[in-house]
Amino acid sequence: MTHGSNAMPLSVLTDDERSFQSAVAEFAQGEVAPRVAAMERAAKLDPELIPKYFEMGLMGIQVPEEHGGAGGSVMMVALAVEGISRVDASAAIMVDVQNTLVAYPLLTAASAEQKARYLPAICESKVGAYALSEAASGSDAFGLQTTAKPQGRDWVLQGRKLWITNAAEAEVFVVFANADPGKGYKGITAFIVERDFPGFSVGRKEDKLGIRSSSTCELILDGVVVPGDNVLGPVGQGYKIAIETLNEGRIGIGAQMIGVAQGALDAAVGYVNERHQFGRAVADNQAVQFQLAQVATELQAARLMVYDAARLKDAGHDVAQAGAMAKLYASQVCERVTSLCVELFGGYGYTKDYPVEKFYRDAKIGAIYEGTSNMQLQTIAKGLLR
């Protein structure tokens, strides 16, 4: 892959994709890596980094050029998220959410007028966020309690959202609310909400185990008046938009996990080659070699699953099952890889002087957000037994 990497080269990438991958790796090393330690201490992304994402064209990878985007693919989104995650998962998740959870529903469900208004903005300068989860509706996402009531041509949103990634920085939000609770999940509707709409505010920022510099906040919707023109897709079809969006989003989380695992593995391979015990390099011990070989093999399999899901999505196929499998397996592999890497560093691995403890903490979120591992298993099982 990139020069000096311990990752296996892949024949599945085109020359353009390899060039893009190299550009992302250079960006991650040059712009993200020098900021990681300070961002981790501050539990906040460096605000000077965010404009660089836009300049690099990373915030609208799939968006057609006519709307200000790069005209790329889901595969390119996966490569970008993977490449940045090898340096910092927190920095990568902003790019991931922007592309898979914000740009995607706008591309697939927005009206022509909404596309003209919002797609150039999220490609050029505005961070977006996706607001589905609530305090009482996590895995049971369609049990959400936020309501949307008509008021003339407008809608009034009332409720609270929780665990919203990018919330501290975002200016545009895709928000889900129930316009007809009597219909259950078939009343759920999607809305495009701007940060400065009256009644809208960002609440408490979570103090997290991992991905600490990525903002995860509560949203407070206190009688937010949303223009009728900002309904995203048909009223009552929000649940379909949410499902289709998360199916793509899981490919992005899989990419994040393989990036984190590769970053940890790169660090561990370098360390065991340099560290000497009992008169020889730690890497000279066959037990260490075999453990590294095992996790490298699993990581390569996870990478191929993520890439395959991305290819299927780009080809127009349903990726509910492939995306769930990729996210499930990549998150499992990431936990195993990062755990081993901490152990290979010995006591040093448990300190903040070396990078593997951060990779280890960042790994855990992969089994939780955008659908827990149990929810992925349920999706996979449904596909098998249908």
Residues assigned a catalytic role: 370
Q: Tell the burial category of 196 from Cβ atoms under 10 Å away from its Cβ (0-12, 13-18, 19+).
A: exposed
Distance CA 190, CA 201 (A): 18
Tokens of 184: 């259950």
- CB neighbour list of residue 234: distance below 8 Å, 6 or more residues apart: none
Collapsed DSSP state (helix, strand, coil) of residue 9: coil
Tokens representing residue 251 in the block: 């490919």
170 touches 45 (CB < 8 A): no
Token pair in block for residue 256: 């994040």
3-state class (DSSP) for residue 210: coil
The rounded distance, in Å, linking the Cα atoms of 156 and 114 is: 19
Comparing CA positions, the residue from 269, 258, 259, 281 lying closest to residue 340 is 269
Neighbours of 4 (CB within 10 A): 8
